[in-house]
Amino acid sequence: MEQSIKKKERLTLTDFARVRLKGTLDAIGGFLNRLGVLPIQMTYLGLLGHALGAFFLWQGDMTTGGLVILVLAPVDALDGTMARLRGESSQWGAFVDSTVDRYSELFVFGSLIFYFASTGNVWGALFAFLAASGSVLVSYVRARAQSLGFDIKIGLLSRLERYLILIPSLVFNVPMYGMAIIAVGAHITALHRIFAMRREVHRKQE
């Protein structure tokens, strides 16, 4: 039986948003389905949007890059909704969606690393690198735990929370502060999940 710590954790911001926005997402997703748009197309549109936003960040145009990501990032929430409404939800689709999400984030963080490095901002490049590695670790720890039969999704900075920090920091042209906050928060979240996993494994063995 799958082990879970859900009963011990509070509703995360991601869970809360998913519940509160379900009606809106279902309406938009249903409309797109009727137009003949495929869920995978929305997945790749989100990836393309992040790549475009990353291009502007690489050029140093933080505000434009942030606005592009602000407009197209929510697309990522629609592919799963559309697949569910079509009765086509699958493990492969979930795998592709999760993988593309990682690429999307790395496009953004990678462009910021390049920008900071090219301008001689060593601290900015370091914070962006730590933000990227922490974000990947948050997702990896949960995925690895799930492969062992546990659902570990606690912590301060899941993907939604990271974007709520990232996007304003870009739009208001203070990316270094956003990177610093995400760098610290993402690694704390990853460590939190690691220790939670350790606790659950030990509990199972008792």
Please give the pLDDT value at position 156. Answer: 87
Confirm whether 61 is a catalytic residue.
no
In this predicted structure, the answer to whether residue 105 has a pLDDT above a threshold of 60 is: yes
Q: What is the DSSP code string of 31-58?
A: HHHHTT--HHHHHHHHHHHHHHHHHHHH
10: confidence class by pLDDT, cuts 50, 70, 90: low
Domains of the chain as residue ranges with CATH:
9-205 (1.20.120.1760)
Query: Among the options 79, 97, 101, 151, which is catalytic?
Result: 101
Is pTM beyond 0.95? Reply is no
Query: Cβ–Cβ contacts within 10 Å for residue 139, how many?
Result: 19
